Amino acid sequence: MSEPVARVVPIWVHRRYRGPMHPMLKTHVNGELVELPGTIAAVRETLPAEERDEFTREAETTPAPELVGVLARWALRGTAADAEDEDVFRRLERGDHGGCVPADDEAAGAA
């Protein structure tokens, strides 16, 4: 399977009331906003029991600059993100670059 598209951005969401800060990751899957758990413990809780040890080993050995990507990849399991990414890769392999913008072209919508 192709590597996931780097599209998840950590957002530290504050509740408007005086509640605690709730770290989460936000991304779009099939055009819909998806909020994902944003801590190692929260991602672990969402996984099936048989995957938790593997996730923990990977999270504990990942260099800090790469940790958000690892959390996002695991948190996106069970969503339609993998199918969406595969569709994008197949389209790009066919040479269809419609809707794509250069990564440094903010005026065209680059993040």
Tokens standing for residue 106: 């903010």
Is residue 111 a part of any domain in this protein? no
Q: 């389209």: which residue's tokens?
A: 91
DSSP class of 98? T
Is residue 103 a part of any domain in this protein? no
Average pLDDT (27-39) is 89
Q: How confident is the model at residue 97 (pLDDT cuts 50, 70, 90)?
A: confident
Is residue 105 a part of any domain in this protein? no
Q: Which of 35, 46, 44 is nearest to 78 (CA)?
A: 46
Which residue segment(s) compose the domain that 83 sits in? Answer: 9-94
pTM of the model: 0.66
pLDDT: is 109 or 23 the higher one? 23
Q: How confident is the model at residue 13 (pLDDT cuts 50, 70, 90)?
A: very low
Is residue 22 a part of any domain in this protein? yes
Strand arrangement, sheet containing 32-37: 9-14, 21-29, 32-37
Q: Which residues pair with 29 in a beta bridge?
A: 32
When divided into structural domains, the chain yields a total of 1
